[in-house]
Structure 1
Amino acid sequence: MAEKPRLYYFNGRGRMESIRWLLAAAGVEFEEVFLETREQYLKLLEDGFLLFEQVPLVEIDGMKLTQTRAILSYLAAKYKLYGKDLKETALIDMYTDGTMDLIFLIAMLYFKPPEQREKETELVVEKAKSRYFSVFEKILKNHGQDFLVGNKFSWADIQLLEVILMVEELSATALSKFPLLQAFKARISNIPTIKKFLQPGSQRKPQPDDHYVATVKKVLLM
């Protein structure tokens, strides 16, 4: 039996969360090693595991993969969540690059001072609706299919659901003007592997808190 993928990261969302989502959606069990001390991070550096001195790090198939995008692309291809041809693959790359930009905007909010965070949260929510949700609403309307690409469940659908739920944590009414995205959210959330990942007790991480932020800053000397 193949060993489970092993994920090295903090006990929180950050750049690893989309990787957790993708593995969970594929029905793949994985192990996690949480970085809690500066010494753990330095040991990974000394052992030569962090190619560009950055986490996340994923051990899989005898490889030690770094760089979020490379990890996600590998997993999507391995677990048949990519496109069937170059055109579909390009569309999935385009959609996931867009949603990843929004995910990172949200992730950085939690590292802002409290007095700055509230104002910037409003800006991020408005950008999510005007720049991202409006685009995906149009895509779904134009092709009239259940999924974003090729009428087949893919990495693009997984990551869009992830960011929808992140934005709704900031603003419960964020989808109020996007009926097709509301239906998309319900549809994708009911895929068995996704539904399981959304249940309490899964390896999905909660919103970042002060402890998570402090741990990241301590380990990376931010």
Structure 2
Amino acid sequence: MSGKPKLHYFNGRGRMETIRWLLAAAGVEFEECFVEAKDDLVKLQKGGSLLFQQVPMVEIDGMKMVQSRAIANYIAAKYNLYGKDLKERALIDMYVEGMTDLNELIMGHTFQPAEKKEQHFATIVDRATNRYFPVFEKVLKDHGQDFLVGNQFSRADVQLLETILAAEECKPDILVKFPLLQRFKARTSNIPTIKQFLQPGSQRKPRLQEKDVKRVMEIFH
């Protein structure tokens, strides 16, 4: 049996993408077992692998872990991406929760009905540029270090880069007023493990397209 973590999810970003990012940033190879049809999900559910009948699910260290935040917390702690003490962990958690809120808003855009897409897009841009990115710009300015917490690379940095790139897919100039975030993006994108994950052919998933929505809905509903 392979010692690599095995990720069970559909072949797309969704709530597994952050987990892929964290493993890749830690330099950990992983396998993927794609849920490609409703029957695949039902098989996992009936087999007792899904504690709450939902994916994502990650097989790691003899466990079948569910709930994306719990999985990400475990990976971050295991691979030294979770700060050096309780206070640093609290900061990382706060920052990550904000990133997750924005990221989920971005992920939901493809699923919006046509008549709501324009308003939803405006909400994404407004929240990114007026609520979330100013926070991280200020953190970097006040902190004066290369990374968000302590002076050590952490899951907060990984997830901020993930969120920045997702936001730029919506609006390429979204960082125009945030010079420190622009430098942060350039710096973290060049960390060797992340640089590799950003190359074509990696296990990073492309942005979900309109044509994929029907397939995803058929699996999960």
TM bucket, shorter chain: over 0.9
1:2: how far off? 6.0
- Helix, strand or coil: the match of 1:187? helix
Q: Which residue of 2 is the match for residue 183 of structure 1?
A: 183
When normalised by structure 1's length, the TM-score is 0.97
Q: Which residue of 1 is the match for residue 61 of structure 2?
A: 61
1:211: how far off? 3.7
Q: Which residue of 2 is the match for residue 217 of structure 1?
A: 217
Q: Which residue of 1 is the match for residue 123 of structure 2?
A: 123
Contact 1:11 1:212 in 2 (8 A): no
Distance 2:217 2:205 in 1: 18
Q: Which residue of 2 is the match for residue 206 of structure 1?
A: 206
Q: Which residue of 2 is the match for residue 111 of structure 1?
A: 111
- Helix, strand or coil: the match of 2:111? coil
Name the aligned partner's letter for residue 184 of structure 1: F
Distance 1:204 1:18 in 2: 10
Name the aligned partner's letter for residue 125 of structure 1: V
1:51: how far off? 1.1
Q: Which residue of 1 is the match for residue 83 of structure 2?
A: 83
Distance 1:135 1:178 in 2: 10
1:215: how far off? 1.7
Unaligned regions of 5+ residues in structure 1, if any?
none
Name the aligned partner's letter for residue 127 of structure 1: R
The alignment's C-alpha RMSD in Å is 1.1
> 1:62-112 CA distances to partner (integer Å, 9 max, x unpaired)?
100000000000000001111110000111111111101111111111111
- Helix, strand or coil: the match of 2:94? helix
Give the paired residue count: 221
- When residues 79 and 2 of structure 1 are mapped into structure 2, their CA distance, relative to the original with a 3 A threshold, is farther
Q: Which residue of 1 is the match for residue 22 of structure 2?
A: 22
Contact 1:5 1:60 in 2 (8 A): yes
- Helix, strand or coil: the match of 1:59? strand
1:116: how far off? 1.7
Name the aligned partner's letter for residue 96 of structure 2: T
When normalised by structure 2's length, the TM-score is 0.97
> 1:22-64 CA distances to partner (integer Å, 9 max, x unpaired)?
0000001111111111111001110111111111000011100
1:118: how far off? 2.5
Distance 1:217 1:100 in 2: 22
- Helix, strand or coil: the match of 2:15? helix
Name the aligned partner's letter for residue 131 of structure 2: R
- Helix, strand or coil: the match of 1:65? strand
Name the aligned partner's letter for residue 116 of structure 2: Q
| 1:38 is the counterpart of 2:38 | yes
- When residues 80 and 2 of structure 1 are mapped into structure 2, their CA distance, relative to the original with a 3 A threshold, is farther
